[in-house]
């Protein structure tokens, strides 16, 4: 029989704990553990959920990796992608690559009778991934861009539609300027309206036929301005990127989406820092509370410690008894914290009750990532760290004299 474990259970489940100081101490210990679990679960799940949601949104719009010409400058007018050495078939075969689509961009101005706004027309063709773009649509539908002639149907962002007082099925005039030439006017039909919640996208981009961009940029019917490469997961980016670079040619370069939008990368990194900071603080709070519970229980049961020593129990055995006892106190707190924390997260996941301002957060609702591994890691981590942290304070037991403990009890 494991004497320390057996005695710990006897103390933990003893009815004598109902009417003494232990009752209050036990409640305090369990409450601190439950709160620590709840805050930690919410922090990790919403933090990682927000990070993943932002990465997925920007990746689904512009690809995890973009391939451009080295002649491209800081303007929004894309240069022609060099085809020498570019092997699209090999890129598609790279592990982790889900697909790719060609595009070309040109900057211009949208004009109505009463207002105007700057715009980047992102021209896409027959390889445009409509299914990937569909979650962004809030009204209308995604046009078919089959590169057969000129399709005048476009998808406008909700932000620009609101600024220009436009809606689905309205018409809009776009003006594109070229060096030493007269401006080019194009009239487009708004087929759909999208919203990514990412300000850098919604403020600028309009989706349309790549042939219009080719016409403005004097490209041939086969030339493109770049490739958007989509991966099965953003986690595959670091592994896939060097493999993709091998097949893009010498006059082109590849760019990760995190490099393309560094502001978003900085914002995502804040989540990592906040998660680490909050988890550390909560772990310290829980450990301090559990150590205080242990010390108070030791002081309260000084008489019992004296008796155990008199009967031949070693200091190590008695320390094990009280550490086990305190860990048993934690278990109901762990269970309650997980039930409440996961319950709150499930409510948010399926109702989206807590909203965010996309102007500041790039997302409109608090996303939740309920990863079982993280949930288990929080509970196990707090449990193990608390157990280790109690070893040093438990040495107070070795300073208790059996004679004095019994004499003054």
Task: Decide which of 250, 274, 309 is a domain's last residue.
Answer: 250
Let me know whether 178 and 325 are in one domain: no
Let me know whether 37 and 102 are in one domain: no
Residue 272 has a pLDDT of 75
Would 307 be classed as within a structural domain? yes
Q: Is 215 helix (H, G, I), strand (E, B) or coil?
A: helix
Q: How far apart are CA 33 and CA 331, in angstroms?
A: 9
Strand partners of residue 189? 153, 171
Percent of the chain with pLDDT over 90: 26
Q: How far apart are CA 54 and CA 51, in angstroms?
A: 5
Write out the residue range of the structural domain in which residue 243 sits.
71-250
184-194 and 153-157 beta bridge pairing: parallel
User: H or E stretch including 252?
Assistant: strand 252-256
Angle in degrees, 0-180, between the axes of helices 262-300 and 315-351, rounded to the nearest 10: 140
Would 66 be classed as within a structural domain? no
Q: Is the pTM of this model over 0.95?
A: no
Contact between 112 and 172 under an 8 Å Cβ cutoff? The reply is yes
Let me know whether 92 and 227 are in one domain: yes
Let me know whether 238 and 91 are in one domain: yes
Residue 312 has a pLDDT of 67
Let me know whether 99 and 198 are in one domain: yes
Task: Decide which of 250, 278, 306 is a domain's last residue.
Answer: 250
Let me know whether 398 and 320 are in one domain: yes
Residues 6 or more apart in contact with residue 380 via CB below 8 angstroms: none
Residue with tokens 């409109």: 364
- What count of Cα atoms within 13 Å lies in the side-chain half-sphere of residue 357? 2
Contact between 217 and 125 under an 8 Å Cβ cutoff? The reply is no
Would 323 be classed as within a structural domain? yes
Q: How far apart are CA 369 and CA 349, in angstroms?
A: 8
Residue 190 has a pLDDT of 94
Let me know whether 23 and 152 are in one domain: no
Would 146 be classed as within a structural domain? yes
Beta strands in 143-251 (DSSP E): 153-157, 171-176, 184-194, 205-209, 226-231
Would 142 be classed as within a structural domain? yes
What are the residue ranges of helices labelled H in 164-312? 199-202, 210-217, 237-245, 257-260, 262-300, 302-310
Q: Is 144 helix (H, G, I), strand (E, B) or coil?
A: coil
Residue 288 has a pLDDT of 86
Contact between 93 and 220 under an 8 Å Cβ cutoff? The reply is no
Q: How many residues are present in the chain?
A: 409
Would 64 be classed as within a structural domain? no
Residue 408 has a pLDDT of 47
Q: Flag residues of the chain having pLDDT under 70.
A: 1-22, 73-75, 179-180, 301-313, 315, 394-409
Count the domains in the chain. 2
Contact between 245 and 124 under an 8 Å Cβ cutoff? The reply is no
Let me know whether 213 and 275 are in one domain: no
Contact between 81 and 223 under an 8 Å Cβ cutoff? The reply is yes
Let me know whether 236 and 298 are in one domain: no
Task: Decide which of 217, 250, 283 is a domain's last residue.
Answer: 250
């Amino acid at each position: 029989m494991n004497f320390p474990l057996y005695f710990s259970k006897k103390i933990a489940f003893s009815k004598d704990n109902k009417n003494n100081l232990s009752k209050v101490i036990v409640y305090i210990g369990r409450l601190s553990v439950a709160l620590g679990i709840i805050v930690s679960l919410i922090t990790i799940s919403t933090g990682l959920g927000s990070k993943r949601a932002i990465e997925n949104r920007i990746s689904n719009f512009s690809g995890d990796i973009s391939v451009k010409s080295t002649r491209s400058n800081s303007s929004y007018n894309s240069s022609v992608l060099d085809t020498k050495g570019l092997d699209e078939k090999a890129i598609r075969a790279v592990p982790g690559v889900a697909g790719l689509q060609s595009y070309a961009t040109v900057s211009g101005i949208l004009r109505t009778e009463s207002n105007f706004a700057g715009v980047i027309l992102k021209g896409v063709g027959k390889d445009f991934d409509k299914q990937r773009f569909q979650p962004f649509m809030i009204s209308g539908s995604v046009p078919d861009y089959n590169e057969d002639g000129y399709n005048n149907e476009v998808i406008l962002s909700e932000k620009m539609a609101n600024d220009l007082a436009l809606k689905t099925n309205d018409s809009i005039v776009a003006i594109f300027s070229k060096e030493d030439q007269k401006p080019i006017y194009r009239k487009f039909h708004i087929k759909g309206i999208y919203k990514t919640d990412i300000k850098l996208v919604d403020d600028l981009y309009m989706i349309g036929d790549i042939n219009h961009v080719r016409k403005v940029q004097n490209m041939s019917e086969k030339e493109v301005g770049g490739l958007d490469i989509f991966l099965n997961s953003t986690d595959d980016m670091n592994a896939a990127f060097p493999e993709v670079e091998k097949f893009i040619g010498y006059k082109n370069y590849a760019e990760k989406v995190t490099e393309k939008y560094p502001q978003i990368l900085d914002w995502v990194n804040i989540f990592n820092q906040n998660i680490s900071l909050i988890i550390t603080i909560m772990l310290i709070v829980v450990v301090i509370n559990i150590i205080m519970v242990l010390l108070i229980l030791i002081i309260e049961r000084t008489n019992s410690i004296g008796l155990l020593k008199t009967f031949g129990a070693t200091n190590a055995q008695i320390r094990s008894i009280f550490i086990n006892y305190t860990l048993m106190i934690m278990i109901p707190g762990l269970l309650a914290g997980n039930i409440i924390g996961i319950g709150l997260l499930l409510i948010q996941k399926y109702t989206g009750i807590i909203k965010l301002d996309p102007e500041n957060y790039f997302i409109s609702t608090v996303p939740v990532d309920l990863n079982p591994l993280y949930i288990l890691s929080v509970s196990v981590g707090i449990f193990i760290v608390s157990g280790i942290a109690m070893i040093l304070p438990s040495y107070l037991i070795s300073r208790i004299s059996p004679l004095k403990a019994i004499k003054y009890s």
